Amino acid sequence: MHVHRHWDRSKGGEKMVAKSGSRCCCCCWFLGIIVVIAVVLAVVFTIRHRANHSDDIAPGSTDKKYADALKIAMQFFNIQKSGKLENNKIPWRGDSGLKDGSEASLDLSKGLYDAGDHMKFGFPMAFTATLLSWSILEYGDHMDSLDQLDPAKDSLKWTTDFLINAHPSPNVLYIQVGDPETDHKCWDRPETMSRKRTLTKIDADTPGTEVAAETAAAMAAASLVFKESDTKYSGTLLKHAKQLFDFADNNRASYSVNIPEVQSYYNSTGYGDELLWAASWLYHATEDKTYLDFVSKNGEEFGNFGSPTWFSWDNKLPGTHVLLSRLTFFKKGLSGSKGLQGYKETAEAVMCGLIPDSPTATSSRTDGGLIWVAEWNALQHPVSSAFLATLYSDYMLTSGVDKLSCGDTSFKPSDLRKFARSQADYMLGKNPETMSYLVGYGDKYPEFVHHRGASIPGDANTGCKDGFKWLNSDEPNPNVAYGALVGGPFLNETFIDARNNSMQNEPSTYNSALVVGLLSSLVTRSSSVESFK
């Protein structure tokens, strides 16, 4: 807003000033110069200060943009819940999957539907639980300030209840409910689906190390979340975590190899990262040196030291590097541990690859600065990278480490946070499409999300096949899938809001866990807790 000042240039006015005395006028002129210089210096200082701290907010204050987005993002977990819903806040959702697990005499009715379909895939669901736990452990206070901590813990427990029931004995884990081939031939609401819900399991005869280990990580991390509020439940989770880790480690084999049908959906590229990830969480949960020894001894084989990679439902290494760096930052007795050094150095390499001005910055970005690695679910990598960057930034702040060396260049914790904010802001609408990819946030977001429940009116009673008319409808979804993070833009930063465009327009539950973690970390300026205990 420009303010125009009008000066009175009438002869009378000018004469009045002249008659007031020349000495006084000189004083005014001298004082005026001093004031101008002071104002200029203040402006320069303010500009420099803002340049250095443009990504900071006052300590203790809340960034409304991220707070509003977090409240929306949390809602998607409720949209994805299976089972007999309690205190249901989603008017177009109801009970579903009530008989899941019955053919094995198990109650697998709870848990979360994976994406826009009605499948429960144990591998990404466990990753969702691990990431939601990590977010709560690091940023639970931020969530609590916005009344989101209890909802987060409720969604976590809904998921871990399922995982507990899916592990009926030490060496048996049910990893999938539903047949994807059959499920994807239908377009219906979860409340009305009537097809057979087949079960898939791993056991000693058909092991699957990565799924067992990821589930162990989820149980161990969640046991820390509930350690104070529900000691018994926490103990149950930890018991399952230990059993599952032993099962995974003692029966090493890839579930993608033993159960080739999963390759079209959640194909694993290896299990070493999940073993390290699970052992890392078990050490945090127990402080049992056995698990620390495991990551120390197996780092050279599985840690991919010196070669930063992308954090995802399939690759847990960057998360493991950052999580174990936590120990070197906060556990003085472990700061010089040779066994942890490779993890810390690789975590630093990951961070250096993310900061745009770093000499080792990755070129895997759009012109608008978004980390971009894959066409399918493109937003997973920038959101997961930004979450890790904020964590590492907070670890540095808390431990008093003021710089990160990337080659011959040094960066501050605020540089990592600035990167994280850039990815979050892009996701929320600061992009060439001016599109918020978080459904329900902002003025413009996807209206044709690839999601069965959202696309069909709540009072429709469609069967398997006749529901496809809703998939092919030209009308926007009748139900808004609040909090859904869709796949995201192509490398050229274009996005097609079409229901058939599952590559770009399908949300996933594990994306929601990542975005909740990122937004929780950015809600207010903070450092990190030194211990989860």
Give the DSSP H/E element, type plus range, for residue 407. none
CB of 192 within 8 A of CB of 217?
Answer: no
As a whole number of angstroms, the distance between CA 507 and CA 235 comes to 33
As a whole number of angstroms, the distance between CA 272 and CA 316 comes to 9
Active site residue 240: no
Q: What does residue 57 show for φ and ψ, rounded to 5 degrees?
A: -125, 165
Q: 445: Cβ–Cβ under 8 A, 6 or more apart, which residues? A: 435, 436, 437, 438, 439
CB of 268 within 8 A of CB of 255?
Answer: yes
- In sequence order, what are the beta bridge partners of 411? 404
Helix, strand or coil for residue 183?
A: helix
As a whole number of angstroms, the distance between CA 447 and CA 265 comes to 25
Picking from 100, 173, 86, 160, the residue whose alpha carbon sits closest to that of residue 513 is 160
As a whole number of angstroms, the distance between CA 490 and CA 170 comes to 43
Strands (E), 307-439: 404-406, 409-411
Amino acid at 6: H
Burial 4-43 (b: 16+ CB within 10 A, else e): eeeeeeeeeeeeeeeeeeeeeeeeeeeeeeeeeeeeeeee
* Helix segments in 197-316, DSSP class H: 209-225, 231-250, 255-258, 263-266, 272-286, 289-302
As a whole number of angstroms, the distance between CA 330 and CA 381 comes to 27
Task: Measure CA 531 to chain center.
Answer: 21
Handedness of CA 132, 388, 403, 300 (dihedral sign): positive
Q: What is the DSSP letter of 456?
A: S
Amino acid at 533: K
Q: Which of 142, 284, 321, 450 is catalytic?
A: 450
Cα-Cα-Cα-Cα torsion 302, 307, 310, 311, nearest 10 degrees, comes to 40
Task: Measure CA 179 to chain center.
Answer: 27
- What token pair was written down for 102? 């019955």
Active site residues: 450
